[in-house]
Amino acid sequence: MVLDNAEYTLDPQGTDVPEIYTVVEELSQFSSICICITSRIPTIPPGCETLEIQTLSMEAAWDTFFRTYKHGEQSDLVDNILEQLGFYSLSITLLATVAEHNIWGTDRLTREWERQQTRVLKTEHSKSLAAIAFFPQGVDENNLNWLFPTITTRTNIFDKFCILSLTYGTNGFVTMFAPLRDYLSPKDSKPFPLLCVAKEHHFTRMSVSLIPDEPGFGETRWITSEDVDVEHLLDIFALIDTNSGSVWKACAKFMEHFYWHRPRLIILRSKIEGLPDEHHLKPEFLLELPRLFHLVGNRMERKRLLTHTLKLQRAWGNGRRVART
């Protein structure tokens, strides 16, 4: 007995779930019945063995591709495309469907792939997909309204993405499946409008003062759930807008949020240390990094950064920061 797409019947938020669970558990007691459940959520009846679906082998990828695509034959060119797709069944099926519908021969398929790559999998709502693909954690469901203000049916669209297995929901985030995420992410360094909206929104959220026991301090804990996305956003803008004071000040506020709510090292560290010593904000950043190293227990690295910071602060003649360092 196969319960396919069981997330619709076993979702804890759904109706009649206790009754359905009871039926499944009773059926599983019969030695003559084997139950197979496919689901995009981890909530399954107790006693079931969970299996993780792996990517396809080359042979299985061929079978999947040519089961749909009938206008070409196996070749090294097709092998190369399947390998670039990471042997993911969904991506292979989508590409095979597009190639079959367009009646592309193998040569044409190869040319289109080299020219467009997974843009050949273009959907009606490609901007929404590209936006999800940009963020490593995905998009917080609570942020859909301000991220996609011009899309009136955004909730339904994201539900459709999930049904089509283009995305999945986890811990309140809508996340893109790999390798679609890698291919649909913006390839150039120019930020598209949505990223600018996200930038201004997060920069504003991080601009508040973080003072324990003060009103509003608890609200700044939002960083604990969106830290990876915000760090990725800052990393991109620090690369494309190196001289922007607002970007680097946001980096400093980001580290301050981490100090209070999410003590860990950050990927922005290399960019901060790579700033020229004459950069007017570098001393300020180098005061925040040692605090993070202290919290994670790396005292040698903390001392090294403080020593370098002290040298810079003295060169800048900032007595207050020299004393603090």
- Are 86 and 105 in a shared domain? yes
- Are 150 and 239 in a shared domain? no
Query: What was the pLDDT predicted at 124?
Result: 42
Confidence of residue 130 (pLDDT cuts 50, 70, 90): low
Query: What was the pLDDT predicted at 126?
Result: 53
Question: Which residue's structure tokens are 């082998």?
Answer: 57
Under 8 Å between Cβ of 166 and 177: yes
Query: What's the token pair of residue 56?
Result: 């396809």
Query: What was the pLDDT predicted at 247?
Result: 83
Under 8 Å between Cβ of 38 and 10: no
Q: Please give the average per-residue pLDDT across 153-166, as a whole number.
A: 72
Query: What was the pLDDT predicted at 125?
Result: 46
- Are 223 and 317 in a shared domain? yes
- Are 309 and 228 in a shared domain? yes
Q: What is the mean pLDDT of the chain?
A: 78
- Are 159 and 229 in a shared domain? no
Point out the least confidently predicted range of 22-26, 168-172, 299-303, 315-319.
168-172
Under 8 Å between Cβ of 40 and 7: yes
Residue 16, class by beta-carbon neighbours within 10 Å (0-12 exposed, 13-18 middle, 19+ buried)? exposed
- Are 82 and 40 in a shared domain? no
Query: What was the pLDDT predicted at 158?
Result: 77
Total domains present in the chain: 4
- Are 141 and 251 in a shared domain? no
Point out the least confidently predicted range of 114-128, 175-189, 303-317.
114-128
Query: What was the pLDDT predicted at 95?
Result: 82
Residues in the chain: 325
- Are 215 and 286 in a shared domain? yes
- Are 69 and 148 in a shared domain? no
Spatial CA neighbour of 192 closest among 279, 130, 266: 130
For residue 217, pLDDT beyond 70: yes
Listed residues 121, 145, 164: the one ending a domain: 121
- Are 117 and 217 in a shared domain? no
Q: Which residue has the higher pLDDT, 37 or 177?
A: 37
Which own/partner pairs from 40-43 qualify as long-range (CB within 8 Å, at least 24 positions apart)?
40/5, 40/7, 40/162, 40/165, 40/168, 40/169, 41/7, 41/10, 41/11, 41/169, 43/10, 43/11, 43/12
Range of the domain at 146: 128-184
45: which residues sit within 8 A by CB, 6+ positions away? 10, 21, 24, 25, 28, 37
For residue 156, pLDDT beyond 80: no
Query: What was the pLDDT predicted at 202?
Result: 87
Listed residues 103, 121, 139: the one ending a domain: 121
How far apart are the C-alpha atoms of 272 and 289, rounded to whole Å? 9
Confidence of residue 123 (pLDDT cuts 50, 70, 90): very low
Query: What was the pLDDT predicted at 127?
Result: 56
- Are 30 and 147 in a shared domain? no
- Are 80 and 9 in a shared domain? no
Listed residues 36, 52, 68: the one ending a domain: 52
Q: Are strands 36-37 and 2-3 parallel, antiparallel or unpaired?
A: parallel
